[in-house]
Amino acid sequence: MSIVAKAQPTAAERVPDAERDTAQLLLEWWDRERRDLPWRAPPGGQSDPYHVWLSEIMLQQTTVKAVIPYYQGFLARWPTVAALAAASLDQVLAAWAGLGYYSRARNLYQCAQVVSQRLGGRFPSSEAELMALPGIGPYTAAAIAAIAFGVPTMPVDGNIERVMARLFAKAEPLATIKPSLRVLAASLLPPARAGDFAQGLMDLGASVCTPKRPSCLMCPLQRRCAGHAQGLAAMLPIKPAKADRPLRVGLAFVALREDGTVLLRRRPDAGLLGGMLEVPSTAWSDTLPPLDQALRAAPVHGQWWAVPGTVTHTFTHFRLELMVYRAVVPIDTPLTFWADPQHCRWLARRSFETAALPSVMRKVLAHGLREQ
Ligand code: SF4
């Protein structure tokens, strides 16, 4: 009688319980379908903590597509955290211009200073130490720890919450089940490859288990998914209806000097668009002040005339509508008290592209300087 040696179990067969099956299924899918993103290490490689940190900060509140050119620009200019720390805040804000949520750029810069000057240029690997750094919250700390250092922890953002709510058919309001979704996500962690598992879930949420129309037929977790089995997938997680954003209005002053420069002002470091350049304007409030009163807030005396149309912009918590006034003034025009002169500068139009101008101010300048 011949003895036939038993074949070695496959990776999938070595994972007996249902929870680990889910992780294995996801990792096998990710090994085939992973997105090739510039901050990721090649398959089997080790991610650079600087790359992971930079990309995770940029990706907060923003899409991968929007982030890629910024990430590549930052890395080309500042290839290490020490190089970033050696830049000036204004250079960093200018390179960040257009990506929004500018407090992230200020925190990014501060964090680079701390890592470079106090930590010898090395990011710590523990979540607790990472969270002590400027701009790094629990999610980002877990993402860096898992992806760059292989720490067995689970970063859970809105995308992963959505996948968990569907996988486990959690039909209670999202706000009440966030802690339990984190526990459920952690329960799926495989014994190794924590970073790959997190990135796999991120990719699944971005390309398959999408917010409006999940592609369940293509999903590697379909057989494990209670939300799909119960026909609930597309309606989960349960979120409150979005409140309408209030409208704020104001009047912006595009002052064009005869030498072709335009008056811009640096905003205070704290608060909305902190540290960025702006076109001087009235306060943004519920109603416009009477025109004569609004014009008294102009940064220079001159013949102000209204540029037809308005500029609109949507911030997270409000919509903004600005009327734009324009004046051409002599080179020696003094600034008024309202201009806050020590924060003002006249900037050549060719320098706009590399200036720390947020999107809303680029719109105002394009509108105010267009040929009539
Ligand atoms: Fe999401 Fe559908 Fe996959 Fe469930 S089966 S995880 S709902 S894509």
State the pLDDT at residue 6: 38
Separation of CA 25 and ligand 1 centre (Å): 13
Name the band, by pLDDT with cuts 50, 70 and 90, for residue 244.
confident
Please give the share of the chain, as a percent, with pLDDT higher than 90: 85
Q: Contact, 222 vs 230, CB < 8 A?
A: no
Q: Is 56 annotated in the active site?
A: yes
Contacts of 259 by beta carbon, 8 Å cutoff, 6+ apart: 331, 346
For residue 253, give both structure tokens.
């002053």
Per-residue pLDDT tens digits for 35-89: 999 999 999 888 999 999 999 999 998 999 999 999 999 999 999 999 999 999 9
Instruction: State whether the beta carbon of 200 lies less than 6 angstroms from ligand 1.
Output: no
Q: Check pocket membership of 234 for ligand 1, CB cut-off 6 A.
A: no
**Which pLDDT value is given to residue 260?**
93
Ligand 1 neighbour 222 (Cβ under 6 A): yes
Q: Report the range of poorest mean pLDDT among 13-17, 51-55, 146-150.
A: 13-17
pLDDT digits (tens, 9 = 90+) for 312-370: 999 989 999 999 999 999 999 999 988 899 999 999 999 999 999 999 999 999 999 98
Closest-CA residue, ligand 1 atom 7, reads: 233
Question: 208: Cβ below 6 Å to ligand 1?
Answer: yes
What is the best residue among 207, 215, 217, 225 to mutate for testing ligand 1's pocket, by most ligand atoms within 8 Å of CB? 225
pLDDT confidence of residue 14: 46
- On the question of pLDDT at 16 being above 90, the answer is no
Residue 270: pLDDT band with limits 50, 70, 90: confident
- What confidence tens digit (pLDDT) does each residue in 277-317 have? 999 999 999 998 888 888 988 999 999 999 999 999 999 89
Question: Can you give the pLDDT at residue 225?
Answer: 96
Rounded distance, CA 115 to CA 133, Å?
8
Please, what's the largest Cα pairwise distance for the chain? 106
Between residues 19 and 151, which one has the greater pLDDT? 151
Mean pLDDT of 1-17: 41
Place of tokens 């996801």: 26
Ligand 1 centroid to Cα of residue 81, in Å, is 38
Evaluated on CA atoms 334, 335, 336, 340, the torsion sign reads: negative
The one catalytic residue in 13, 33, 56, 371 is 56
Q: Which of ligand 1's atoms lies nearest the C-alpha of 166?
A: 7
pLDDT, position 8: 45
